[in-house]
Structure 1
Amino acid sequence: MNEQYLNQTIRRIVYLESLKQSEINNLSAHIKEIDDLVKSLMLDEEMTDLTLAEFNKVLTSVKTGVATSLSSYTVAVGASLTAIAIDTYQFETKSLNNAFEDVKLSTKIDDAKKAKIVRTVKNTPLSVTGSEGKTVTDLFNELANNESNKYINHIKLARYEGKTNQQIVQMIRGTRKNGYKDGLMEVTARQAKTIVRTTVQHAAMQGKAEFAKDNADIIKGEQWLSTIDGKTSSACRSLDLQIFELGKGPRPPLHHNCRSTVLIVLKDEYAGRGNINKRASKDGPVANESYYSWLNKQPKEFQDDVLGETRGQLLRSGGLSADKFAALQLDKNFKPLTLDEMRAREPMAFKKAGL
């Protein structure tokens, strides 16, 4: 694989993470809207003093206000997602043109193609664990609906328990002593941030997938590329550097907050002679190697922190190569295996590691 293309892709990953944070930063204005709404509704009579009809009217205002604020935010994020996907398609075109002398792809992208990319982003279901089969629209609709229901259910319970308006506001906003990190709004913010990070990654990968399909005549596959640090998931660790036929392998995001990507692997006649000899890690460039090959060289404490003590011991003392260890982590559907399932497949490795 061409080193220039790899470096361009890594820079793109950094850019994408910054873009995720930018979209997340825009959330604060919408959280403030919810805060202002709650405070305004709690200024007058105590919830416990209201008639049922009056109380239900307050609940309707809360539900509508929270849903409207979150829906407004997700519409803005949705516009960004389509722009990200289109930009990713164009980036791959320019990136391959710059990195490979024998690649001469057109950089033009017409409105019909842009519209197709937009549909792909919106309609392609995610394979994210816990949200399998859901689309971007599903995730955002669930956010607005679930969070608004959460607010009214908590307020109902608070009124039943006889809590004051001040206590209800505190329940929603959180407490000053905990930096307002223990209220419902913080939970809402965390949920929204997770969805934003996941859907931005999805949009970028769909833009790349569309590019790959359009240029299948020069592409033979895709290579999984995981971030090399202690936060990488077990599934992504095991898939790192594996090459799959075009359209045959898993695609990021594999889980919520996934940061993995794929590299386009060109057919031999287009790939040239370039080789990757460096890639990014938490400590800067490292020699080109898989995640578990890199992890095997890290301190014991770091290995156990990433894998857990049992898997860490198996990595160090089980006599398995990095590739064999990686293959032992996932089933045929790329889902993580339990320790018992791993032991059934490689009993001698567990015995050798004293496990």
Structure 2
Amino acid sequence: MRSVNEQLMDELIAHSLFSGRYSTSVARRMIKVLNEFDAELTASLIVTLDDVSIDVNGFTARRLESSLSSVRSINKRAVDSAFSLLTEEMREYAVYEMGYYPSLFDDLLPDAVLRQYPLMGITEEMLFSSVMSRPFQGKLLSEWASGLESDRMTRISNTVRNGYLNGDSTVDIGRKIRGHANQGYKDGVLQLSRANATTIAKTAISHLQATARDQFVDANKDIFDCKQWLSTLDNKTSHTCIVRDRLKYTLDGKPIGHKVPYLQGPGKIHFNCRSTETLVTKSWRELGIDLDEMDAGTRASMDGQVPTDTTYLAWILRQPEWRQRQVFGETRFRLMKEGGIHPSEFYTDKGEFISLEQLKQIDSEAFHRTGR
């Protein structure tokens, strides 16, 4: 019989994977909303600029701002609509997340444990209000919305100003802002704002998922021993997450057996973080369960051991060279393959990725040791 902790790790990895796919779909719908408004925005911009005769020599920022009032209004509606969609999706997702963890543990934990430690749930309002009132990557969701609105308007204003100074037609200015249809509108100045909106949406969903997990753990901490960081094993994994893969932390985020700080934790440590964590339950003895309350197989499944699996660093050593180059870059790859340096040496004991300048200092030593 596989242990509860082994099953738990598998389920949480799968949950993180599918949550990531969900966040991608939400981001795409947000972009669709923005794109629908961008057509109206560009049309209004062209009409406005055609109606305003501005001498280049008399062109001022004040006159520009006055002429773009209608465009500013449309831009605000666009961003408000996109973030309204995101907020509603997050509220619905909060309902799902608040039920996911109790359901998972109700299914995995033996009846003897559940009788002694009945699961405590969290409410939708508790979770949603926490998510909306706690910043991620330094800002609240409402602040990210305001920032995106301002960023888009700045890009529009700068493009109009430069277009006038360069003698561009109003149609050309509109195309520079929105992009060309045959390019999927990805060549306009608003494309970066679309990318930013995607990043915000995916990070917000990840923030919600991590908050739901934290609140469930806090409400049921008596059954847990610790938590273990799980990083996605592919060539897009960030350096901050690579070194934390499989490391253990206390329930309040203190390192266990290492010095790498927890920081904001998996799913929150950086934009688009795909890391998650598994929760390690205590053994049946640590929970104070009587021997006769469980059969031998059930007791074995509640051994309290941390699941063993391949670490990221062990995994990367088995990968083809092209992937190792993608992950570490040419200089680190060369040091690893020709200088005999293990990938773990690319990090400090605090989990910081060693800079290329620092690598230069150990470069000659590495090749000296190997006689190269």
Cα RMSD between the aligned structures? 3.1
Equivalent position to 1:257, from 248, 272, 280: 272
- The aligned runs of 1:260-275 (5 Å cut-off) are 260-269=275-284, 272-273=302-303
The answer as to 2:176 corresponding to 1:198 is: no
Matched, 1:121 2:139: no
Q: Please say if 1:36 is aligned against 2:51.
A: no
2:169 to 160, 164, 170: 164
* Deviation for aligned residue 1:162: 2.5
Q: Which residue of 2 is the match for residue 310 of structure 1?
A: 331
Equivalences, count: 335
Q: Structure 2 vs 1, CA of residues 337 and 190 (structure 1 numbering), >3 Å: closer, same or farther?
A: same
2 CA distance for matches of 1:198 and 1:44?
36
Give structure 1 stretches of 5+ with no counterpart. 279-287
Pick aligned residue for 1:6 from 3, 9, 22: 9
Cα 1:168–1:346 change in 2 (3 A) is: closer
**Of the two, which has the highest radius of gyration?**
2
- In the TM superposition, what is the alpha-carbon distance from 1:13 to its structure 2 partner? 1.8
Between the aligned partners of 2:277 and 2:16, the Cα distance in structure 1 is 10
**Alignment partner, residue 147 of structure 2:** 142
Aligned to 1:281: none
Alpha-carbon distance, 1:237 to partner: 1.0
Q: Which residue of 89, 94, 99 maps to 1:90?
A: 99
> Does the 8 A contact of 1:201 with 1:258 survive in 2?
yes
Per-residue CA distance 1:269-295 (angstroms, 9 max, x = gap):
3671487879xxxxxxxxx21011011
Superposed counterparts of 1:71-86, under 5 Å: 71-86=80-95
Q: Which one of the candidate residues 22, 26, 38 is aligned to 1:23?
A: 26
Contact kept? 1:67, 1:147, Cα under 8 Å? no
Listed as ranges, the matches of 1:313-324 within 5 Å are 313-316=334-337, 324=344
**Aligned partners of 2:246, 2:226: CA distance in 1, in Å?**
12
- For 1:283, the equivalent position in structure 2 comes to none
The one-letter amino acid of 2:214's match is A
User: Identity over aligned residues, as a percent?
Assistant: 24
User: Match of 1:36, as an amino acid?
Assistant: E
- Residue identity opposite 2:283 in structure 1: D
Q: Which amino acid aligns with 2:273?
A: C
Q: Is 1:293 equivalent to 2:314 in the alignment?
A: yes
Distance change (3 Å), C-alpha of 1:221 and 1:178: same
Post-superposition offset of 1:243: 0.8
Letter of the aligned partner of 2:203 in structure 1?
T
In the alignment, structure 2 segments of 5+ residues that lack a partner are 254-261, 288-300
Structure 2 distance, partners of 1:350, 1:83, is: 56
Q: Secondary structure at the residue paired with 1:258? A: coil
Displacement after TM superposition at 1:191 (Å) = 1.1
- List per-residue Cα deviations over 1:59-116 (Å, max 9, x = no partner): 1111221122112211221232243344324212222222232542656746xx3322
Question: Contact 1:48/1:159 (CA < 8 Å) preserved in 2?
Answer: no
Pair 1:354–1:50, CA change in 2 (3 A): farther
**For the Cα contact (< 8 Å) 1:223–1:263, is it kept in 2?**
yes
Q: For residues 315 and 45 of structure 1, do their structure 2 counterparts lie closer, same or farther at Cα, with a shift above 3 Å needed?
A: closer
By how many angstroms is 1:261 displaced?
0.8
